[in-house]
Amino acid sequence: MISVESLTKQYGPFTAVDHVSFTAAAGRVTGFLGPNGAGKSTTMRVMVGLTRATSGSVTIAGRDYRDLANPGLEVGVLLDASAQHAGRTGREILTIAAQTMGLPRSRVTETLARVGLTEAEAGRRVRDYSLGMRQRLGIATALIGDPRVLVLDEPANGLDPAGIRWMRDLLRGFANDGGTVLLSSHLLHEIEVIADDIVVIGQGRIVAQGSKSELLAAAGTLVRTSDVDRLARALHEAAVVTTPIDGGLRVDADPELVGETAHRAGVVLRELRAADGAGLEEMFLQLTAQTSREGAAA
């Protein structure tokens, strides 16, 4: 399990991560979502000892990453698939990882096969790899120590549809076997398919967290009309909270109440439905509308 407690990271006057707290449980895939610049990568770097926190803590199975005697055997990490020695072959990179962890050479061949890199591909220089191949090599490096925890930042980047399906099955199987997966991705559909739990961060702060089903069920009602302002006023008078979305509103009320309010106000509706049907993308955009870099600039 990964436990993040009141984590804060400041760079001078700028606060990149602001009192962030969440857990990633064993046996589950936790999706870590947020707009660019929200603090995801900083949080993950602190998690694996690459950046020191200003305050707060992160523990993995109850211990700080820096206290792990042989961390690769306990935590598999992929933060940047391009951060690999371009002049070495894939096999050489895995061999160095295995030697560092005290693993037998046989583990290299086993892991290459596990991530779908052929002997010919393993013998090529990394500079000649496609982005998808680099991702597979990065995942191989994370897996070679047979850890119980995976921390992965955008692992599907560069993978084709077959590769994305392979990664999804790999991570699902890892969690089903009792492993902990923390997965950051901008591919919201993939998170929606694979994640059990979701943590959403915006401008360094957690804006939502919980099980996927809970968050989607709590999304309220989506309503669209050509007279959004009039409907918003009517709902406000009925003490109902609304949030603007493209061409309409997300409403913290059931569709029946929204429909009745619109009818009394004489507002014609173009769309009225439970927001959980909109899926993760709609929920993500609603939750981060005020915390994305573009939204903040506006």
3-state secondary structure 120-182: HHHCCEHHHCCHHHHHHHHHHHHHCCCCCEEEEECCCCCCCHHHHHHHHHHHHHHHHCCCEEE
Across the chain, mean pLDDT equals: 89
Q: Which of 86-95, 189-198, 203-212 has the highest mean pLDDT?
A: 86-95
Average pLDDT (175-186) is: 93
198 has a pLDDT exceeding 80: yes
204 has a pLDDT exceeding 70: yes
Q: Which of 17-26, 181-190, 244-253 has the highest mean pLDDT?
A: 17-26
Greater confidence, 72 or 294? 72
Q: Which residues of 208-222 are buried (b: 16+ CB within 10 A; e: fewer)?
A: bbeebeebbeebbbb
The rounded distance, in Å, linking the Cα atoms of 244 and 140 is 43
The rounded distance, in Å, linking the Cα atoms of 282 and 225 is 17
- Predicted local confidence at residue 218, as pLDDT: 64
Q: What is the DSSP letter of 185?
A: -
- Predicted local confidence at residue 230, as pLDDT: 93
298 has a pLDDT exceeding 50: no
The rounded distance, in Å, linking the Cα atoms of 130 and 126 is 8
- Predicted local confidence at residue 282, as pLDDT: 67
Pairing type for strands 221-225 and 180-184 reads unpaired
Could you tell me the pLDDT band of residue 190, with boundaries at 50, 70 and 90? Answer: confident
Phi, psi (5° rounding) for residue 281? -60, -45
37 has a pLDDT exceeding 90: no
- Predicted local confidence at residue 143, as pLDDT: 97
- Predicted local confidence at residue 212, as pLDDT: 83
Question: What structural domains and CATH numbers belong to the chain?
Answer: 2-209 (3.40.50.300), 218-297 (3.30.70)
Could you tell me the pLDDT band of residue 297, with boundaries at 50, 70 and 90? Answer: very low
This prediction's pTM: 0.78
Greater confidence, 141 or 277? 141
Give the tens place of pLDDT for each residue, 217-268: 666 788 899 999 999 999 999 888 888 877 788 888 888 899 999 999 999 9
Alpha helices in the chain (DSSP H): 40-47, 90-101, 106-114, 119-122, 131-143, 161-176, 188-194, 212-217, 228-237, 255-265, 279-287, 293-297
Could you tell me the pLDDT band of residue 90, with boundaries at 50, 70 and 90? Answer: very high
Percent of the chain exceeding pLDDT 70 equals: 91
Greater confidence, 10 or 248? 10
* In contact, 17 and 43? CB cutoff 8 Å: yes
